[in-house]
């Protein structure tokens, strides 16, 4: 699960509301970026300097350490990977396409062996050729303890991945035997079991080539060697200020995805979200040709922007496969009783929750665990219809059957809801209190347990300390049902001594088998249908209560052209932006 693009928040965002000079006239936000290539008028041309105003510094600029969905934004300017995401607006952007490789890979009959061929004419920023051994080395590095941080799939999928400790410990060895490089252009991956989604995994930065001779371990992030259209010219303050310039050895002929319109890209980060949005809206000097890749509009800013037509035209809307939900631990009382879980599902007031998450423009109510995207296999269902504001009557009825309520044997149902104290509209106090108020109508007494964010994350994801009920969220590592459902509902992914995400501890052989069966399918659309069906089936057990899917509103500078926001990332794709 990758880090979410940050929503501008609270104290740090103190100045947000004032930031945007707007008129009072109320009109709904006009959504730009819906059509292909939104933004300023005119055809995109080469040249100019693009400024990126960001909150978080690119402090992990090492392909081994990055945890991205589809290779990241700024990183994908420098790192090319075997495959990459299709750089198109909306749903078309959820497709996977070849990048360094000639195609999406050739699977063996059972999808356990995947073979890739590199394109001709690939070179690093110094002109030296990119070889299959470099791609293999890049993957091997990500197993080193020094360079931890990436997604778990390589360790879990590659034969021998669970024991391999990376090239620094295993100096003399041949590295991972499950990655073969019969020649300088060919890579063969041997997986433990069939994985039809392998081409999607190959979009992550771990699949970027790293020349062994240039590897400097933990210091590699200061100047990673570029295989993409831009190279790092200057990196100060651990990724706080970056200057990227054209990589003369990159050729558009081998890269159909990245446009690389601007000559230079300057990244300024460590900025306050409110300042970012204010500078984008004012757009003075270099800020006119500016975008942000990690900040979106918060509720108060949205209230401001939506009143100003000029600004509202410069707002792009992004969707990203993501679900915020209530997670039960059915091994604890009273959540072991399905009636209690169902009652809670009926009682939830999604309107309050959506408002707490920023309102209907920033969150869509959810009744399915899978996000509402076709690529993930979205199949609508609503097993415990709570309507817009909850069904307290139905909830009381179920609770009565379970022995709770005024005058009932066990008295009114009293539960503790664990949440984080970070005010990020995720597992934050706002959402928790909104739920609390809603449940009150059904006679459910909710005690809130707010934990410091890190404490919260560790507690809810450890089988030993997991609370009975907590606010959870889950994002797509790539637009497919597999990485969305398996970590949460696959019984073999219950991690006893580490980060566990199967909070319901569901270990149902039927579910496990179906997951294995779907993983064998290499046809994405066929697989998506089965994921959707599986989600609908699991949903009957009321192991989670889906709450909402977030929506992202992204403001960009007035000179920014060719704005493309794919449903894969929900962020405007920096490789498409032009400023001339």
Residues 384-413 that bind other proteins (CB under 8 A): 389
Per CB under 8 A, does 127 bind other proteins? no
Per CB under 8 A, the segment of 94-102, 140-148, 183-191, 335-343 that binds other proteins is 140-148
- How many residues sit close enough to other proteins to count as binding (CB under 8 A)? 102
Q: State which of positions 408-427 bind other proteins (CB under 8 A).
A: 421-423
CA 553/CA 78 separation, integer angstroms? 26
CB of 55 or CB of 246, closer to other proteins: 55
Of residues 56-115, those binding other proteins (CB under 8 A): 59-60, 65, 67
Q: Please report which helix (H) or strand (E) contains residue 546, including its range.
A: strand 544-555
| Residues sharing a CB contact under 8 Å with residue 61, sequence separation 6 or more, in sequence order | 75, 78, 221, 222, 224, 232, 235, 239
Which of 235, 306, 519, 541 binds other proteins (CB under 8 A)? It is 306
> Per-residue contact track with other proteins, 460 to 499, x per CB under 8 A?
---------------------------x-------x-xxx
Binding of residue 151 to other proteins (CB under 8 A): yes
- C-alpha 395/C-alpha 444 separation (Å) is 9
Which stretch, 113-121, 142-150, 325-333, 560-568, contacts other proteins (CB under 8 A)? Answer: 142-150
Our CB check for other proteins shows the closer of 64 and 563 to be 64
Contact between 10 and other proteins by CB under 8 A: the answer reads yes
Distance separating alpha carbons of residues 486 and 478, to the nearest angstrom: 13
* Element at 317 (helix H, strand E): strand 315-319
**Residue from 132, 203, 226, 278 in contact with other proteins (CB under 8 A):** 278
User: Which stretches of 112-270 are assigned E, i.e. beta strand?
Assistant: 113-117, 179-180, 186-190, 230-236, 241-246, 264-268
Kindly state the smallest distance separating residue 391's Cβ from other proteins, in Å. Answer: 15
Residues 489-548 that bind other proteins (CB under 8 A): 495, 497-499, 501
Distance separating alpha carbons of residues 563 and 261, to the nearest angstrom = 12
Whether the upstream peptide bond of residue 34 has omega within 30° of 0, thus cis, is no
Least Cβ distance, residue 254 to other proteins (angstroms): 29
Interface residue with other proteins among 13, 415, 460, 571 (CB under 8 A) is 13
Q: Which of residues 202-221 bind other proteins (CB under 8 A)?
A: 215-219
Least distance CB 264 / other proteins (angstroms): 18
Is the separation of the CB atoms in 224 and 153 below 8 Å?
A: no
The window from 322-330, 351-359, 514-522, 529-537 that contacts other proteins (CB under 8 A) reads 351-359
By CB under 8 A, residue 449 contacts other proteins = yes
In the block, residue with structure tokens 């069906």? 533
Q: From residue 76, how far is each of 67, 385, 563 by CA, in Å? A: 12, 42, 17
User: How many CB atoms sit inside 10 A of residue 10's CB?
Assistant: 15
What residue has token string 């055809």? 43
In contact, 256 and 39? CB cutoff 8 Å: no
Query: Closer CB to other proteins, residue 86 or residue 423?
Result: 423
Strand partners, 85: 96
- Applying CB under 8 A, among 12, 133, 288, 408 the residue interacting with other proteins is 12
């Amino acid at each position: 699960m990758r880090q979410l693009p940050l929503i501008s928040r609270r104290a740090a965002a103190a100045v947000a509301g004032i930031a945007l000079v707007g008129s009072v006239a109320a009109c709904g936000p006009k959504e730009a970026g819906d059509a292909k290539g939104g933004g300023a008028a005119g055809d995109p041309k080469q040249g100019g300097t693009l400024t990126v105003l960001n909150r978080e510094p690119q402090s992990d600029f090492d392909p081994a350490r990055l945890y991205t969905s589809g290779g990241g934004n700024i990183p994908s300017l420098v790192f090319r990977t075997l495959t990459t995401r299709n750089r198109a607006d909306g749903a078309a952007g959820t497709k996977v396409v070849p990048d360094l490789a000639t195609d999406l890979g050739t699977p063996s009959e059972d999808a356990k062996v995947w073979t890739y061929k590199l394109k001709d004419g690939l070179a690093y920023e110094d002109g030296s050729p990119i070889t299959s051994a470099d791609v293999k080395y890049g993957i091997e590095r990500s197993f080193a303890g020094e360079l931890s941080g990436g997604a778990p799939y390589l360790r879990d999928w590659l034969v021998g991945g669970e024991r391999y400790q990376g090239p620094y410990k295993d100096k003399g060895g041949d590295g991972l035997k499950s990655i073969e490089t019969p020649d300088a252009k060919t890579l063969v991956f041997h997986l433990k079991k069939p994985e039809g989604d392998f081409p999607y995994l190959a979009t992550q930065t771990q699949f970027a080539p790293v020349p062994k001779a240039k590897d400097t371990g933990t210091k590699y992030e200061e100047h990673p060697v570029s295989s993409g259209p831009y190279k790092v010219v200057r990196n100060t303050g651990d990724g706080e200020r970056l200057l990227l310039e054209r990589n003369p050895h990159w050729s558009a002929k081998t890269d159909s995805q990245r446009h690389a319109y601007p000559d230079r890209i300057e990244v300024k980060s460590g900025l306050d979200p409110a300042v970012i949005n204010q500078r984008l809206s004012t757009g003075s000097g270099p800020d006119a040709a500016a975008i942000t890749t990690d900040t979106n509009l918060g509720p108060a800013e949205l209230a401001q922007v939506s009143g100003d037509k000029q600004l509202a035209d410069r707002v792009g809307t992004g969707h990203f496969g993501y679900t915020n939900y209530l997670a039960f631990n059915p091994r604890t009382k009273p959540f072991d009783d399905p009636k209690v879980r169902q009652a809670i599902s009926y009682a939830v007031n999604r309107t309050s929750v959506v408002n707490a998450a920023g309102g209907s423009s920033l969150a869509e109510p959810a009744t399915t665990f899978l996000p509402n995207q076709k690529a993930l296999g979205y199949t609508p269902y609503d097993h415990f219809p709570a309507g817009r504001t909850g069904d307290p009557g139905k909830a009381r009825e179920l609770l009565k059957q379970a022995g709770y309520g005024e005058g009932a044997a066990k008295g009114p149902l009293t539960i503790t809801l664990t949440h984080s104290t970070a005010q990020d509209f995720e597992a934050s106090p706002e959402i928790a209190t909104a739920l609390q108020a809603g449940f009150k109508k059904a006679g459910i007494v909710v005690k809130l347990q707010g934990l410091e964010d890190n404490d919260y994350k560790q507690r809810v994801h450890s089988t030993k300390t997991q609370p009975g009920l907590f606010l959870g969220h889950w994002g797509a590592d790539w637009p497919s049902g597999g990485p969305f459902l398996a970590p949460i509902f696959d019984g073999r992914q219950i991690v006893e001594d580490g980060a566990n995400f199967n909070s319901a501890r569901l270990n149902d052989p039927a579910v496990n088998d179906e997951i294995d069966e779907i993983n064998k399918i290499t046809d994405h659309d066929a697989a998506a249908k089965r994921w959707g069906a599986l989600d609908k089936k699991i949903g009957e057990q009321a192991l989670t209560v889906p709450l909402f899917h977030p929506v992202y509103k992204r403001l960009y500078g007035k000179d920014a052209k060719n704005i493309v926001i794919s449903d894969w990332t929900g962020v405007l794709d920096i490789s498409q932006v032009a400023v001339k």
